[in-house]
């Protein structure tokens, strides 16, 4: 291969990588609606991308890559269904696929329909979340396992069982009727929040610190859910939480690729339009007089941070009070860890460390990073160094690793 051809192939490879991020969920969702089988949808989408890897360097990138991939995957699915002779209805289904339109239901968005399919009440909550992260978020099994803090093999089995249950139970690929939405929305919101977090936190080793494609898709889908359920407080709360978090994205990683903590971020780089929208959503929920749920409380905590012009102006007593309220709804170790970080600003690192020690989070990098910072502030350098080393070994991406290494190396003493 000459140099020009090699450059062309490399360029097409970069395009395919970008298109995979942008179009994977759309291709899978469209195909799942047409064939009604998540395994076939996923496998044929993967085949379509494999064909693109072979053909696009030779034929050129098509004007509409997503349409090309969807058409290719659809044709492969028809061929596969025709080859399956186990049941006659499969053949009849294949003959009808290309020409039979299907009503889209409450909202015309294939990816949102796929979210609701994956979040069917027949599935356990963890299975709903994992399956949707795979099918809609396009995350790999290792990425999902890292988000759940479980072994990769166990996560793979969980996803396989969820897809099989959908197939056996003949769960329909559609957004449920409006009266059925409340039974699904808790799982849907949990999934969208995790998709957003995976984009914002990038938990898998070797990944970039922020994946704007995932955060944007999570926000888009949450807006669609809010259009379906405009009076649901937790839907509004999750949207506000995402907007207030996304507003800080530009300041989160330095030009050198290192994580920038909230306390060190350039607040002038925050997106004030997103902050204003998030605050407006929260004010409207407060005016409703209804008790806040988990996402509304998390959004309120972020609102306190984004309302402070400087970290020194943060109302830490309000943050701790909000975490106290949240702990009553969600007494998880991670909530307790985050509360302790706020306690450190209010009552000092010694009080916070007493609350952190003993939390069952040994496999969670943020637990060790928090301990390291508290120990550093207490002048316990040797213990802080060991905690930093543990956090570095568990860190999810290069930006976090770079930050932790710098903080560790700033410690005085051996």
Q: pLDDT by residue (tens digit) across 25-47?
A: 888 888 888 887 888 888 899 89
Mean pLDDT of 67-79: 90
Q: What is the mean pLDDT of the chain?
A: 85
User: Strand pairing partners for 397?
Assistant: 207
Q: Which CATH architecture has domain 103-193?
A: Orthogonal Bundle (1.10)
pLDDT at 342 over 70: yes
202 confidence band (pLDDT: 50, 70, 90): low
CB 241 within 8 A of CB 298: yes
Mean pLDDT of 336-352: 97
What is the structure's pLDDT at 143?
78
CA nearest neighbour of 102 among 53, 30, 38, 166: 30
What is the structure's pLDDT at 101?
41
Q: At what angle do helices 65-83 and 38-59 cross, to 10 degrees?
A: 130
pLDDT at 62 over 50: yes
pLDDT at 107 over 90: no
pLDDT at 200 over 90: no
* Side-chain-side CA neighbours of residue 191 (13 Å): 34
CATH 1.10.10 domain extents, the chain: 103-193
Multiple choice CATH, 3-97, 1.10.760, 2.30.30, 1.10.1740, 1.10.3470 = 1.10.1740
CATH 1.10.1740 domain extents, the chain: 3-97
Q: Rounded to whole angstroms, how far apart are CA atoms 148 and 204?
A: 11
Give the number of other Cβ atoms within 10 Å of residue 318's Cβ.
15
Please give the model's pTM, rounded to 2 decimal places.
0.80
What is the structure's pLDDT at 183?
79
What is the structure's pLDDT at 10?
59
- Higher pLDDT residue, 163 or 404? 404
Instruction: State phi, psi for 259 to the nearest 5 degrees.
Output: -60, 135
pLDDT at 95 over 70: no
Q: Is 206 exposed, middle or buried (0-12, 13-18, 19+ CB in 10 A)?
A: exposed
85 confidence band (pLDDT: 50, 70, 90): low
Q: At what angle do helices 333-347 and 316-329 cross, to 10 degrees?
A: 160
CA nearest neighbour of 196 among 233, 239, 141, 228: 239
């Amino acid at each position: 291969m000459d140099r020009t051809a090699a450059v062309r192939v490399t360029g097409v490879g970069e395009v395919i990588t970008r298109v995979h991020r942008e179009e994977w969920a759309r291709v899978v969702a469209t195909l799942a609606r047409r064939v009604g089988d998540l395994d076939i949808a996923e496998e044929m989408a993967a085949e379509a991308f494999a064909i693109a890897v072979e053909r696009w360097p030779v034929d050129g990138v098509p004007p509409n890559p997503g349409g090309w991939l969807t058409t290719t995957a659809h044709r492969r699915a028809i061929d596969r269904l025709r080859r399956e002779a186990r049941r006659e209805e499969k053949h009849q289904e294949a003959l009808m696929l290309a020409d039979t339109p299907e009503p889209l239901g409450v909202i015309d968005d294939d990816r949102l329909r796929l979210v609701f399919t994956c979040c069917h009440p027949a599935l356990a909550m963890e299975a709903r979340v994992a399956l949707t992260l795979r099918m809609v978020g396009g995350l790999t099994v290792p990425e999902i396992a890292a988000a759940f803090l479980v072994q990769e093999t166990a996560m793979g089995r969980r996803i396989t069982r969820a897809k099989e249950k959908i197939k056996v139970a003949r769960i329909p690929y559609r957004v449920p009727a409006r009266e059925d939405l409340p039974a699904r929305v808790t799982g849907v919101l949990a999934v969208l929040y995790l998709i957003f977090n995976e984009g914002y936190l990038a938990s898998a080793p070797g990944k970039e610190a922020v994946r704007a494609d995932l955060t944007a898709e999570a926000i888009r889908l949450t807006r669609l859910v809010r259009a379906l359920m405009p009076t649901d407080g937790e839907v509004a709360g999750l949207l506000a939480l995402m907007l207030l978090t996304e507003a800080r994205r530009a300041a989160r990683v330095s030009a050198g690729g290192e994580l920038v903590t909230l306390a060190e971020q350039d607040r002038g780089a925050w997106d004030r339009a997103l902050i204003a929208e998030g605050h407006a959503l929260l004010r409207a929920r407060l005016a409703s007089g209804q008790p806040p749920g988990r996402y509304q409380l998390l959004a309120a905590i972020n609102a306190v941070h984004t309302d402070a012009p400087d970290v020194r102006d943060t109302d830490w007593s309000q943050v701790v009070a909000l975490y106290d309220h949240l702990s009553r709804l969600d007494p998880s170790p991670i909530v307790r860890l985050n509360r302790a970080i706020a306690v450190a600003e209010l009552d000092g690192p010694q009080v916070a460390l007493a609350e952190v020690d003993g939390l069952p989070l040994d496999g969670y990098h943020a637990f060790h990073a928090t301990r390291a910072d508290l120990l550093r502030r207490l002048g316990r350098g040797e213990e802080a160094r060991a905690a930093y080393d543990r956090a570095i070994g568990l860190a999810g991406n290069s930006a976090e690793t770079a930050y932790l290494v710098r903080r560790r190396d700033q410690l005085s003493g051996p």
